[in-house]
Structure 1
Amino acid sequence: MQTLEERAVAEALRDSGGEAIRLYVAACSERMVPLFIGLRAGVPGREADLDFCVWSVRDLWHTGQPLADAAERVGVLGRFPEH
């Protein structure tokens, strides 16, 4: 069941367009990436994954710059073991 808040957010994003969606994703990611980094920092072989997450969140905030490789980045994240 969808809550009133979830419905309001979904409606606002649907009506606002690409920049608002990108900022929403950036804000959500900004909250989750530190958790990922905290859990995976120091794990051998994950350094590139940590950097990738940090760069991706940074790039999401720059709405004036296109994210031409957004689909590729989603694919990379989908291959993380945590997915």
Structure 2
Amino acid sequence: MKLLKKMILAGVFSYVLAGSTFPCVAKTPNLHITEPTSQLSPKADKLEWKFKMINGQWYRRLYNATQNKWIGDWEPV
């Protein structure tokens, strides 16, 4: 019985010792980082109401800030 325990202990010890002599090498993955090739463009127009006073009355007009264009005519508020 003692001989069996000694053999098992020697086998485990040699297995651990042999396993520690071979280092485990971890390879890093090859990552290719690419630069964006195009600029971001807005999908929706940015619309703003512009106000002004004419002869004591307020008027408003819709302005497309994305395309720098007026939309519609001046209308009283």
| TM norm structure 1 | 0.19
Higher strand residue share: 2
Higher helix residue share: 1
Taking CA–CA contacts closer than 8 Å with sequence separation of 6 or more, which of the two structures ends up with the larger relative contact order? 1
| TM norm structure 2 | 0.20
Specify the structure having the higher radius of gyration (Cα): 2
